[in-house]
Amino acid sequence: MARYFMYLGYDGTNYHGWQIQPNGTSVQEELQKALSTLMRRPVEVVGAGRTDAGVHASLMVAHADIDALADAAIWVGKLNRLLPPDIAVYRMRRVADDAHARFDATYRKYQYHVTTSKNPFLRHYAWRVFQPLDFGRMNEAASVLFEYTDFTSFSKLHTDVKTNNCRILYARWEQTGADEWVFTIQADRFLRNMVRAVVGTLVEVGRGKLTIEGFRRVIEAKNRCSAGTSVPGNALFLVDVGYPEHLFLDAEEKASVSSAVK
């Protein structure tokens, strides 16, 4: 038996999120079924995080304990033939037996896409906003996130986490097209629904309904009711997960995995 990290991507449109659900199809379920078919025994898959229903991932990482592989690339091909067309495994890397896709991650990075015009080709992957937004002010507000670690105001209520503390490493809006913007946020960890709540509150700033100081007070309130509404999940992408290099038992560089999905 050996532990492998699997680097994969998926279109979350048809799934009830990453995690296995009692009454809906999940990405984790599909990956476990494919691996179990190949191994001819039940295989458990553990992901780096739990994306919500409709949320996408251009790069998710998961681990599983399977038979040691002489050529991981061959098994990637076999997995992809079994997986549905909206899920793809990019790479598999041998890791230490105690390496954990969730607990050993040093950071996660998400991106949220916004469009200010109607575009039929973006309807599943960007949120259309109808009012003008001041993205400069939104970036001023986003910079306030670096001053805090307790983000209770942006957390889904009644979760089972022990702490609502996170360390924000990057948070910024950038224009990617004439009518398209993307918010990139990176942190050591995220709370349930956190990114969508942060974006929803930043949009309140962009619409002039909330000042920079008001945004600061939202964070300090440590109350979900103080923050803005959660924006739709279909425009959110998990785009990267980082790990210490000492976990990996092969010689492949992490950078080559990231470049394969850009």
- Residue 183 CA, chain-centre distance (Å), reads 13
Residues 65 and 32: their CA atoms lie apart, in Å, by 11
Catalytic-labelled residue, pool 52, 104, 134, 240:
52
Beta pairing, strands 87-95 & 2-10: antiparallel
Exposed/middle/buried for 79, CB within 10 Å: 0-12, 13-18, 19+?
Answer: buried
- Residue 33 CA, chain-centre distance (Å), reads 22
- The question of whether 134 is a catalytic residue gets the answer no
- Active-site positions read 52
